[in-house]
Amino acid sequence: MDPIDTLIQHFRERIVLTDHDARCVGECFHVVTLKKKEVLLHTGEVSSHMRYIAEGCLRSYYMDEEAREHIIQFGIDGWWVNDLYSYLTRTPAKQFIQALEHSVVLQIHRDTLNQLYDQVPAIERFFRFKFEKAYVAVQDRTLNTLSKTAEERYFEFRSKYRDIEQRVPQYMIASYLGMTPEFLSALRKKTTT
């Protein structure tokens, strides 16, 4: 399926779009094809686009002072990925966004999206829903990190994101969950015995 058609279908699962609306939307998004390990957003750049993953798998992460990676988010087909803080505040990104496999991303510039809100009001409702959902997800993740054991976090990740677990290296899952790869390996062995 054409990436734009995939995006339109994604929107239509949540909002009503006429054929005219769909054409307007399709004209505003641009296809970006990424090779495995290619970086879509570098730390220090201002994130000026909303990004939909039509195909592939990406991660967003930041590097601490000791050059350790901390994974913030994974994104797969049908998901959105961004450094929302940078996007919303128009400040330099603190995160990298990188393809973990060949990926196709559709992106729209902030200014174009604001114009699209006027042309197709349903798109503004869609993104309001997306921002609300993103806020809830961040709060949920923060509370889980503070209140659940590493083992509980891992089992919850497995139950929610089984498809991601199959596509992402174990050390990246460990980073996302805030544990060492060795600890995650021991947890995994424990569950298979």
Q: How far apart are the first and last CA of the chain?
A: 41
Is position 182 within any domain? no
Pairing state between β 96-99 and 39-41: antiparallel
Report pLDDT digits (tens) over 106-148.
999 999 999 999 999 999 999 999 999 988 988 988 888 888 8
Structural domain includes residue 15: yes
In a domain, 139, yes or no: no
Q: What pLDDT does 32 receive? A: 98
Our count of domains for the chain comes to 1
Q: Which of 168, 172, 169 is nearest to 71 (CA)?
A: 172
CATH number at residue 107: 2.60.120.10
Determine the pLDDT at residue 192.
Answer: 65
Check residue 84 and give its pLDDT.
93
Domain encompassing residue 30: 3-121
CA distance 62 to 95: 5
Q: Is 39 within a domain? A: yes
Residue 138 lies inside a defined structural domain of this protein = no
> Which is more confidently placed, 152 or 20?
20
Residue 193 within a domain:
no
Is the pLDDT higher at 6 or at 192?
6
Tell me the residue ranges of DSSP E strands in 56-173: 57-63, 69-76, 96-99, 103-109
Segment among 32-36, 88-92, 95-99, 139-143 with least mean pLDDT: 139-143
Across 65-76, b (16+ Cβ under 10 Å) vs e yields: eeeebebbbbbb
Can you give the pLDDT at residue 175?
92
pLDDT of residue 191 exceeding 80: no
Identity at 144, one-letter amino acid code: N
Give domain status of residue 97, yes or no: yes
Q: Considering the domain boundaries, does residue 159 fall inside one?
A: no
Mean pLDDT of the chain: 93
- Average pLDDT for 60-64: 94
Q: Give the type of residue at 19.
A: D
What average pLDDT does this structure show over 35-58? 97
Helix axes of 150-160 and 181-192: crossing angle, nearest 10 degrees: 70
pTM score, whole prediction = 0.91
Region of poorest pLDDT, from 5-14, 54-63, 161-170: 161-170
Given a contact cutoff of 8 angstroms between Cβ atoms, the answer to whether 53 and 103 are in contact is yes
